[in-house]
Chains A and B, each alone.
Chain A
Amino acid sequence: MTFNASELLAVIAARQLHDDTTVFAGVGVPLLAAALAKRRHAPRLTMVIEGGIIGPQIAPGRLPVSTNEMRAGHRATMLPGITDAFLFAQRGFVDVGFMGGAQIDQYGNINTSVLGADYWKPKVRLPGTGGANDIASLCREVIIVTAHEKRRFVERVDFVTSPAWLRGDGSRRAAGLRFGGVSRVVTTLGILGFDPDSKRMRIEATHPGVSTDTVRQNTGFALLEAPRVEVTEPPSDDELAMLRALDPERRFLGT
């Protein structure tokens, strides 16, 4: 079966989730990935949604467009409210946080606030952190899921909205962020990780037919390379069928 970029991202992201764990997921591809994982290989996975929702059963054809609308809480097990949903993450109950991002730098920091140098008079005002900063700060592990484009992968973000490894060298720990951090970046070209010492981004896997050179050409900074670069398994027919069943209207999977 052929597949598009969103389907590839959702399937590869879903594979990162394990059974008997919890995941903080936002609307769109991350939520589809979590729902796919739960249906396919992780039936005891619990989704937490920042609108203050625990354990929803995302209904096919009824995908939420915001984390606060009625679809997001379909058949949920608890509606604790927004503050308390995040406090579960602060307490250490949330294993994985899924994030997207407008701009990502070589240490995995994300900017969704402003483009330009002056925060108060920005060149481009973006919507803001929402819960992204909290997910980046509080989950045991963060996985970024994004299209791989040179304009997104920049050497330095204009503004650190959501901290990953900050400037490397233990700077995350020094800022008081005792836990978590970004482990992987799932993109349309492959899977990136971080060098254990320098915390700079490196290529860990490429999707079939994608060369490491292509990954580098689409990245705005010098990427390191893992000792062994793997090749991912392409989405199976089974995975794609299950994923498509979740979004029959193609609301987030696109055309």
Chain B
Amino acid sequence: MGDSHLNPLEYDFIGARERTEAKRKSAGEKLTSLEDAVARVKDGDHVSVGGCLFSRTPMALMREILRHRRRGLTLSRNLTCNEGEMFMAAGAVSRVVTAWMSIGLPWGVSKILRHYVESGAVALEEWSHLALGLRFRAGAMGVPFLPALTMLGSDLVGVSGLKTVQDPYTGETLAAVPALFPDVAVLHVHRADRFGNCQIDGYPHMDADIARAATTVLVTTEEIMSEEETRRYPDRTVIPGFVVDALVHVPFGSFPHECYALYEADYDHFAEYTAAIDARGPSAVGEYLERYVYGPPAWSDYLDLFGGERLALQAKRAKELTR
């Protein structure tokens, strides 16, 4: 089935530790612009993406990375949605590390995934959902791997590069799931204070692990809360400020994806997007990039393409769904 593309730098726990030790870990101001935040992303970086599928995707940050015309990136995310398709079509990504990719069941197998992976233009490195979660957790823990009982015996072992280890106590064979220390984490959260202390409502996904695993952490937030609010509810902080490098206040920062209890994903938008691909093939994503990514300069211009009425409707639906 071919060799794995696993990059040894991803599980180099000593290098990752040294990068974090050398880093400024400030309790100070983190608020900045999208443009300034994303200037920290370099060509060839490994970028891990928070949220999962069309839930709490850091869409504003990802759009800005595309606007910066980055190249040769590796993207990792447990379930990859149309943001991955946009990175493929933009020529920004050469390798995707994921457990699953397509928009979602009702929209069928991604034709963009098929186009770029079947031609060999993008390498898709597949890990199980749990294994990729444990890669981020091992990264968050600062260890080179975690033992696990999953992925064993499957053909995923060969293509991912997973190795096994013999338990020194019982002699059993275990999966040695390698850590993933990404260069950059891009995350979207519900609330943060200006020092980067972050709160997430609803589904936590893997954001807290990804933040600790990464060298550089970029966060967008729906709402800026006061320091007083953070200190009143410290149990709600899932990412501490000293982990965060840049924070940007971006309401509707996941749209057209969902943000738990705040707005629902725009399924009509997905349907229009996939209908365009069905009609015109992969070039439809190029047109989409022009219209939604390269065209509108600011995030507010981008949101204007959807319109206030649509945003208000999606917000109303989210309230109903989480009542």
List residues of chain A with CB under 8 Å of any chain B CB.
27-28, 50-53, 62, 65-71, 73-74, 79-83, 86-87, 90, 113, 117-134, 137-138, 159-163, 166, 171-172, 175-179
Contacts and interface: CB of A to CB of B under 8 A. Distances in A.
Contacts of A171: 153
Contacts of A162: 154
B137 A83 contact: yes
A162 B126 CA distance: 12
A127 B260 contact: no
B130 A134 contact: yes
Contact of B124 (A90, A125, A160): A125
Contacts of A131: 99, 128-130
Interface of B: 1-2, 52-55, 78-79, 98-102, 104-106, 109-110, 113-114, 117-120, 123-124, 126-131, 133-134, 136-137, 148-156, 158-159, 164, 172-175, 202-206, 209, 258, 260-261, 264-265, 267, 318, 321-322
A90 B209 CA distance: 19
A162 to B, nearest CB: 7
A66 B100 CA distance: 12
22 contacts: A66-B79, A67-B53, A69-B55, A80-B204, A86-B130, A87-B130, A90-B149, A90-B150, A113-B126, A113-B155, A120-B120, A122-B118, A124-B118, A127-B102, A130-B99, A133-B150, A137-B151, A159-B1, A160-B156, A161-B155, A175-B152, A176-B153
Nearest to A109: B154
Contacts of A177: 149, 152-153
B149 A70 contact: no
Nearest to B51: A68
Contacts of A81: 203-206
A185 to B, nearest CB: 18
A163 B318 contact: no
B32 to A, nearest CB: 28
A154 B199 CA distance: 48
Contact of B172 (A28, A122, A176): A176
Given A81-B205, A82-B78, A130-B79, A178 B172 contact: yes
Contacts of B164: 176
A208 B67 CA distance: 60
B117 A125 contact: yes
Contact of B54 (A68, A71, A163): A68
A159 B258 CA distance: 33
Contact of A119 (B2, B55, B131): B2
A70 B202 contact: yes
A234 B98 CA distance: 40
Q: Which applies to chain A's interface (DSSP): helix, strand, loop or mixed?
A: loop
Contacts of B206: 81-83
Contact of B209 (A83, A119, A138): A83
Given A82-B129, A175-B152, A66 B99 contact: no
Nearest to B106: A65
B203 A133 contact: no
A83 B106 contact: no
A163 B154 contact: yes
Contacts of B153: 137, 160, 163, 166, 171-172, 175-177
B260 A70 contact: yes
A127 B128 contact: no
B174 A176 contact: yes
Contacts of A166: 153
Contacts of B54: 66, 68-69
Contacts of B130: 82-83, 86-87, 90, 131, 134, 138
Nearest to A122: B118
Given A126-B109, A128-B99, A129-B100, A51 B52 contact: yes
B260 A65 contact: no
Contacts of B2: 118-120
B87 to A, nearest CB: 16
B99 A120 contact: no
A82 B133 contact: yes
Nearest to B165: A176
B113 A176 contact: no
B149 A68 contact: no
Given A81-B204, A177-B149, A127 B120 contact: no
A53 B55 CA distance: 14
Contacts of A66: 53-55, 79, 104-105
